[in-house]
Amino acid sequence: MKVKKEIEISELINHIGERVTVHGSIYKIRKMKGFYFCRLRTARDVIQCVCDRQELMERLKEEACVRVTAEVVKEERAKTGVELHILSAVILSRPLENMPVVINQKEMNTSLENKLNFRPLTLRNEKERAIFRIQEGILRGFRRFFEEEHFVEIHTPKIVYAGAEGGANIFRLDYFGREAYLAQSPQFYKQMMVGVFERVYEVGPVFRAEKHDTARHLNEYTGVDFEMGYIESFREIMETEVKMLCHGLDMLSREYTRELELLEVRLPELPEGFDTNAPSAVGTIPVLKFAEAKELLAQELGLGAAEREHSLACHDFEPEEEKLLSEIIRRRTGSEFLFVTHYPAAKRPFYVMEDPENPEETLSFDLIFRGLEITTGGQRIHDYEMQVEKMRRRGMNMESFESYLMMHKHGMPPHGGLGLGLERFTARLLNFDNVRQAALFPRDIHRLTP
C-alpha cells in the first residue's frame, strides 16, 4: 500500500534518501556535462533539482507543468540544504512557445511597462510573486487584529447613488437607465454600520477616476477601511492604526521570512506598547499638526513670508513636500512613519469633524510612511444638525444624501475611522518607486489590460 504524506519544502532536509513526488513548473533548465540542472517552481518555493536522464530532460521545456518523482539528496550549497535527483516525470502540460520575456532570472531585466503587459507571465518570476505573498501577509496580520479587536467584516455596495468624496474623480455608469457611480470609498456605509456593530472593517476595491498619471496613483485600488464608534478622541483611531500596522508587520516577520529575504526587505520598527500620554507621538510615531509640518518645511527650505503663506494656503502637501517632511522626521527621530493631523477644513470632505477649538482645522490625520501618504482618517460628524449645517454651507444637494443622513437623525455615537491603500503600503514597505509594482493587475489612465 502506498502512503501519501504532504511535507513542507523546508522539511525535506529531514527526508534525505527518501523518494518524494512534487508538482510544479519547470522554472529553469541548464544542460551540463552528462546531466541537467533544473529549478522547479512550486506554490511557494523554487527547488534545485538535478537529472541525468537525457531522454526525459529533452522532453521538458521551461514552463512545462510536471509531476516529478525524485530522491532527496543532501546539498549544503542549496538554500533548503537539499536537492532533488529526478527519477521520472509526468508532463501535465507543455508551453506552446518560448516566453516573450525572460522570467527565470533572479532580477527581471525589463521595463515596468513590459512587466505589466505580460503580467500573467511575469508574476511567475520568484521575486515578482513574492511581492503579493507579502501583500497577503500584511492583510492576514490586519485581519487577525480586526478579529481580536471585535471589528466585524462587512461588504458594502460598489455601485452607488452618490460619491463620498465628491468632485469630478468618479466613474459613472448606466444602471438600468439611471446614472450610478462606482464607490470612491465605503465611507457612508461603514459609518452606517457603526450604528449597527460599533466596529466594522472592509477590504475591497476603491475607484477613483483621477486623471493623474503618476507613480502614486491607481484608478482602482484595494482599500483597507475601518470605522469605530464610542471614541473619546480622534487619537484613538491613530492608536488603533498603529496596532493594526504592528499586527501586519508582525505577521510578516513571523511567517514571511522567505519572501522578506528574497526581496531584501527591511521592515520598519514599530512600538510594542503605546505611550498615549506623550504630547507629540502616538506610540513612537511622531505627530505634527498640519501647520507645524508646513512650518518645518518652510524652515528646511528657508522660505520667506510670502512663500510660507502661499504654501499654507494650498491646504495640502505636494508630493515633494511629503517626501521632504518624511526625510526630516526620519533624520531627527529615526521614525519612518509620521502622523500629520489637523488638516484644514477647506480641503477635507463634508463629513469630517472640525476641531471645536478651531473650526478651520479638522480632527483628521494622514499617515505618511517613507515619503508617501498611505492613510487618511479622522473623526466624523455624528450630530445631525452639525452635519446638515456644514452641507448647507457647502451648497450641497441634501436630497442625494437622505439615506446617509438617516443615521445622524436617529442617533449615532461619536465615531471615526480611516482608509489605507494596500498597494501604497506594500510599495513603500518594499521601497518601490511606483505603486503599480505592488498592484496585481494595475488600472491607470492608460492601462485596462491585462
Burial of 40 (0-12, 13-18, 19+ CB in 10 A): buried
Q: How far is the CB of 197 from a second copy (least distance, A)?
A: 6
The residue from 36, 142, 207, 339 that contacts a second copy (CB under 8 A) is 207
Tell me which residues in 92-111 interact with a second copy (CB under 8 A): 92-97, 99
Whether the bond between 349 and the residue before it is cis, its omega within 30 degrees of 0, is no
Specify the pairing of strand 372-380 against strand 364-369.
antiparallel
Query: Interface with a second copy includes 413 (CB under 8 A)?
Result: yes
Query: Interface with a second copy includes 410 (CB under 8 A)?
Result: yes
Rounded CA separation 198/230 (Å): 8
Q: How far is the CB of 65 from a second copy (least distance, A)?
A: 4
Residue whose CB is less far from a second copy, 150 or 310: 150
Is residue 370 within 8 A of residue 385, CB to CB? The reply is no
Burial of 6 (0-12, 13-18, 19+ CB in 10 A): exposed
Query: Interface with a second copy includes 382 (CB under 8 A)?
Result: yes
Query: Interface with a second copy includes 147 (CB under 8 A)?
Result: yes
Residue whose CB is less far from a second copy, 118 or 369: 118
Q: How far is the CB of 7 from a second copy (least distance, A)?
A: 13
Query: Interface with a second copy includes 152 (CB under 8 A)?
Result: yes
Nearest 10 degrees: CA dihedral of 349, 352, 356, 359?
0
Residue whose CB is less far from a second copy, 68 or 325: 68
Query: Interface with a second copy includes 3 (CB under 8 A)?
Result: no
Candidates 49-57, 176-184, 352-360, 366-374 — which segment interacts with a second copy by CB under 8 A?
176-184
Query: Interface with a second copy includes 227 (CB under 8 A)?
Result: no
Query: Interface with a second copy includes 168 (CB under 8 A)?
Result: no
Residue whose CB is less far from a second copy, 74 or 230: 230
Tell me which residues in 33-92 interact with a second copy (CB under 8 A): 42-44, 61, 63-65, 67, 92
Query: Interface with a second copy includes 263 (CB under 8 A)?
Result: no
Instruction: Tell me the residue ranges of DSSP E strands in 298-414.
Output: 337-341, 354-355, 358-362, 364-369, 372-380
Sign of CA dihedral 322, 327, 332, 337: positive
DSSP H stretches of helix in 200-289: 235-255, 257-262
Candidates 195-203, 294-302, 358-366, 389-397 — which segment interacts with a second copy by CB under 8 A?
195-203
The residue from 13, 16, 159, 398 that contacts a second copy (CB under 8 A) is 159
Query: Interface with a second copy includes 121 (CB under 8 A)?
Result: yes
Find where cell 468624496 sits. Answer: 165
Query: Interface with a second copy includes 449 (CB under 8 A)?
Result: yes
Sign of CA dihedral 422, 426, 428, 433: negative
Find, among 3, 1, 78, the residue nearest to 40 by Cα. 78
CB atoms inside a 10 Å sphere around CB 33: 4
The residue from 15, 20, 23, 28 that contacts a second copy (CB under 8 A) is 23
Q: Which residues pair with 418 in a beta bridge?
A: 226, 377
At 134, the amino acid letter reads I
Distances (CA, A) of 334 to 28, 176, 331: 42, 54, 6
Candidates 157-165, 243-251, 281-289, 362-370 — which segment interacts with a second copy by CB under 8 A?
157-165
Applying CB under 8 A, what is the total number of residues that bind a second copy? 94
The residue from 9, 102, 180, 396 that contacts a second copy (CB under 8 A) is 180
Candidates 73-81, 196-204, 282-290, 369-377 — which segment interacts with a second copy by CB under 8 A?
196-204
Specify the pairing of strand 46-51 against strand 82-93.
parallel
Query: Interface with a second copy includes 133 (CB under 8 A)?
Result: yes
Q: Which residues pair with 70 in a beta bridge?
A: 20, 86
The residue from 29, 39, 49, 118 that contacts a second copy (CB under 8 A) is 118
DSSP H stretches of helix in 104-171: 112-117, 119-122, 126-148
Find, among 144, 31, 24, 147, the residue nearest to 92 by Cα. 24
The residue from 31, 59, 211, 347 that contacts a second copy (CB under 8 A) is 211
At 21, the amino acid letter reads T
Site string for a second copy, 303-342 (x = CB under 8 A): ----------------------------------------
The residue from 282, 285, 367, 407 that contacts a second copy (CB under 8 A) is 407
Rounded CA separation 42/208 (Å): 36
Query: Interface with a second copy includes 167 (CB under 8 A)?
Result: no
Candidates 270-278, 324-332, 354-362, 406-414 — which segment interacts with a second copy by CB under 8 A?
406-414
Query: Interface with a second copy includes 374 (CB under 8 A)?
Result: no
